[in-house]
A and B are shown apart, each in its own frame.
Chain A
Amino acid sequence: MNQPQVSPAIPAAAALGGQLPTSNYWSQQHFEDELEYVFRRSWINICRADEIAKPGDFIVQDLYAIGTSVIVVRGNDGVIRAFHNMCTHRGNQVEVDLQGNKKWFTCLFHGWTYDHEGHLVGLPQSNKFSTVQKDKGGLTPIHVGIWGGFVHICLAEKPPMTIEEFMQPLTKQLGAHYGDQPWHLSLRLSVEVNCNWKLPYDAVIEFYHFNALHPKSIGGGMSMKDSPARLFPEQAGVVGHFEAFYAKTEAYLEPTPVQQLAAAVGASGIHTKSNAIECKTRYPEAINRNKREDWAVDVYATLPHVAYLIQEQSIAVQSSWPIAVDRCHITLDVWTLTPPPRNFAEMFNASAVKSRTADIVVEDFSTLERIQNNLKHGPVRTFHYNADEAQVKGLQDLIQVWIDRGKAATTAGA
């Protein structure tokens, strides 16, 4: 059989790419393995700690195919705890509001009531139960780990590593950059799509697609240039990293009048520089490691399903929640150091950014269902990844490492 001719001119970085079977995106077995050996053993980013700042503040997050939903609550003692949102009586969801502040969590079915530490503190007609011990009837706790101000949970009975070990390839300074500053939520989008959860994740952890997929939206204003992606060793939960730079590529388009006006009054989002509002990080060593003037963004992919796109004054966090092998729920949060709009000009800028971001997001998502539909019956059974797409392949390689280790541990313990 003829072997493909590989040009010696291909840089060594190309070795970061490679190929993988498409079955990673459509195999039910692989999907189940991902859920069991990766999602249910990883640290899963749920929210920021300052979203539940006061005692009684809580967030409910549906875990979709991963498991139950989870209640994350700050107790009266200030401690953040997490519980399976499953009444120990007959399994109803105890809390159906997605966010709020409550003194107790009361199941709407029969009124069983739990406090912020998960204790069962009330059940009507308790004397009619022969099998319930109130002191053992509390909500099932879930491990909580906080890194960089992001509250994570781990569903494993015993987490395979601490949150610090999980995020270990990322610097302490990056954790401080995330965690020790007054981020505020400036934008939140969500959508459900009929595709494997990895496809929207892939869409944001490589910029190779920019000129082809965003010719008129990003307009040739950013590229990875000469900065290759890097992958981290496989001992933890972080896949890798790459940077992108402001660059007038051959596809460059001048900003529109609206973009120019928005930039004049504030940060214009991930793809354009901010002119007006200066909001320097307290931890400059955490980002732009080569201190380049043209640096735009650092992009990190983490297990199981969260990409971080970090600029000096904003962090975009995209999470891709699996619902089925070919359906997922995607959320995109943009946290900024710039304060909430203080005047109409800043409001205008924020609104322009929101609109532009959504236009770019639907370009990114244009491929998702098309690829998934092709995967069902199409002849292509192998995908190829170049050096700029190293994190896309790296994500799946790391997932496979976790699956293989998990199965080996299960077999050893059997």
Chain B
Amino acid sequence: MMAAIPEAFHELDSYLPKWAIRRHSDRIKARLSANIEELTELQDAVLPHMRAIIDTLNSYPLESPPAELEPYGHLVLTVAAFDLAVNRFRQVDVPYSYPLEKIIFHDAPSASKVWD
């Protein structure tokens, strides 16, 4: 049986193809190749729904979310990856910093198979 997607989540559907990104390293690449206006628009759209998405996904086992809800989870995690860029730096990369794309993220042994 398919999980019911709260109606309000559908407001975010247009963002899913580009921003429901599964891997953290891919989110960083997407962040660095976007512009800040795009990231800001994304956050502004997702933020009002973030708690509801988290609470909805919380009602399912972490490793087996309903397939139709999973993209919204990746969308929330993508917005988290852009937090300081949008809310503090006001630019896609970290100002004056060492290149973020050179950082290698390693999977921990307990890493989720679904989320990153």
Contacts and interface: CB of A to CB of B under 8 A. Distances in A.
Contacts, number: 127
A49 B106 CA distance: 19
Main secondary structure of the interface of A (DSSP, over half): helix
A365 B94 CA distance: 11
Given A256-B83, A343-B58, A344-B65, A261 B50 contact: yes
B9 interface: no
B106 A363 contact: no
A216 B83 CA distance: 11
Interface of A: 51, 184-193, 216-217, 219, 253, 256-259, 261-262, 265, 340-345, 347-348, 351-352, 354-356, 358-359, 361-363, 365-366, 368-369
A280 to B, nearest CB: 21
B100 A193 contact: no
A185 B77 CA distance: 20
- Chain B interface size, as a band, is 35 or more
Nearest to A346: B62
Contact of B104 (A190, A219, A347, A368): A190
A308 B108 CA distance: 19
Contacts of A359: 84-85, 94, 97, 100
Nearest to A332: B103
B43 to A, nearest CB: 8
Given A343-B58, A344-B57, A352-B80, A193 B98 contact: yes
Contact of A188 (B57, B76, B105, B115): B105
Contacts of B51: 261
B97 A363 contact: yes
If over half of B's interface residues share one DSSP class (helix, strand or loop), that class is named, otherwise mixed; here it is helix
B83 A259 contact: yes
Given A341-B62, A344-B58, A363-B97, A351 B115 contact: yes
A74 to B, nearest CB: 15
A362 B110 contact: no
Contact of A258 (B79, B98, B102, B112): B79
Given A259-B83, A355-B80, A366 B65 contact: no
Nearest to B99: A362
10 contacts: A185-B109, A256-B83, A348-B80, A351-B77, A355-B81, A355-B82, A358-B100, A361-B103, A362-B94, A366-B98
B38 interface: no
Given A189-B103, A344-B57, 20 more contacts: A185-B108, A189-B106, A190-B103, A256-B84, A259-B83, A341-B62, A342-B62, A344-B73, A348-B76, A348-B77, A351-B81, A355-B27, A355-B82, A355-B83, A358-B100, A359-B84, A359-B100, A361-B103, A363-B96, A368-B98
Nearest to A334: B108
Nearest to A352: B80
Contacts of B110: 184-185, 340
B116 A186 contact: no
B88 interface: yes
